[in-house]
Amino acid sequence: QSALTQPASVSGSPGQSITISCTGTSSDVGTYNLVSWYQQHPGKAPKLMIYEVNKRPSGFSNRFSASKSGNRASLTISGLQAEDEADYYCCSYAGNSLWVFGGGTKLTVL
Amino acid sequence: QVQLQESGPGLVKPSETLSLNCIVSGDSISSYYWTWIRQPPGKGLEWIGYIYNSESTNYNPSLKSRVTISVDTSKMQFSLKVNSVTAADTAVYYCARAQYDHAFDIWGQGTMVTVSS
């Protein structure tokens, strides 16, 4: 069970769009539509922002969207705002009652 | 509104046992995956394991030999024990809830545990 692969960092200017990738294997991301994404601000607990690949919890901004193709999931943030600067983590169910997280991506809003 | 609150010692000596509790308020402690997740300083999240329906457990294979998760329904809390700790177990430990969608929708605030003599 290896961690999912995410870029260490991404950046964008206010108003722009960015995409964060999350690459797994046929044993996790590729098999299960149970990919979730979490936003974590410094010193805070992670917060669920996407579940079941592309669903948003009520109250979460529609500037955040996500998708999956094969073994790769993606999170897109449109209309970047300063408050989007945070760490983002993907997570996938990996079968056999196991979960695996990505290594995390630091988003910098320039 | 469901809330989770971790508690336990902030400092544990090497080779000893790390013990944490997570109190659940605002919901039943049954029928969910009550989970522990940790984050070493400056690093990413690591799934530790869960307890489901008060009896079924599963653990990260990398930690399985040292970890036990249990539940006390009368106290509305679930617990984590990690045996034979080393400095590598130093982390912020979070308790969290997952539902049928396998996403962690509720998190505790986290508690920092340092392993040091």
Nearest to A89 among B45, B60, B62 (CB): B45
The confidence score (pLDDT) of residue A35 equals 97
Do B44 and A1 count as a contact with CB atoms less than 8 A apart? no
At A40, list the tokens.
């974590």
CB contact under 8 A, B47 and A91: yes
| Mutate: best of B35, B92, B102, partner A, most A CBs <10 A | B102
Q: What pLDDT is recorded for position B64?
A: 93
Query: Tokens at residue A107, please?
Result: 């988003």
pLDDT tens digits, one per residue of B18-28: 999 999 999 88
Task: Kindly give, in sequence order, each residue whose CB lies less than 8 Å from that of residue B41, ignoring residues fewer than 6 positions away.
Answer: B90, B91, B92
In the predicted structure, residue A62 carries a pLDDT above the cut 80: yes
Closest CB to A52: pick one of B45, B101, B104: B101
Q: Is A78 helix (H, G, I), strand (E, B) or coil?
A: coil
pLDDT above 80 for A59: yes
Q: pLDDT tens for residues A66-99?
A: 999 999 999 999 999 999 999 999 999 999 889 9
| CA-to-CA dists, residue A42 to A80, B35, B42, angstroms | 18, 22, 10
Is pLDDT at A1 greater than 80 in this prediction?
no
State the DSSP code for A56.
Answer: P
Residue A15: band (very low, low, confident or very high) from pLDDT cuts 50, 70, 90: very high
Cα–Cα dist A106/A41, whole Å: 10
Across chain B, what does the average pLDDT equal? 95
B94 in contact with A at a CB cutoff of 8 Å? yes
B112 vs A: CB within 8 A: no
State residue B18's pLDDT score: 98
Tell me the count of A-B CB pairs closer than 8 A: 64
Please answer yes or no on whether B47 and A51 come within 8 Å at the CB atom: no
High-pLDDT (> 70) share of chain A, %: 99
Which residues of chain B fall below pLDDT 50?
A: none
Which one of A97, A100, A106 makes the best mutation probe of the B interface by having the most chain B beta carbons within 10 Å? A97
Taking CB atoms and an 8 Å limit, are B60 and A1 in contact across chains?
A: yes
CA distances from B103 to A9, B28, B38, B94 (A): 23, 18, 16, 14
Cα separation, B73 vs A101, whole angstroms: 29
What residue type is B86 in one-letter code? T
The residue type of A61 is: S
Interatomic CA distance for residues A21 and A46, integer angstroms: 18
Residues in chain A within 8 Å Cβ distance of B110: 45
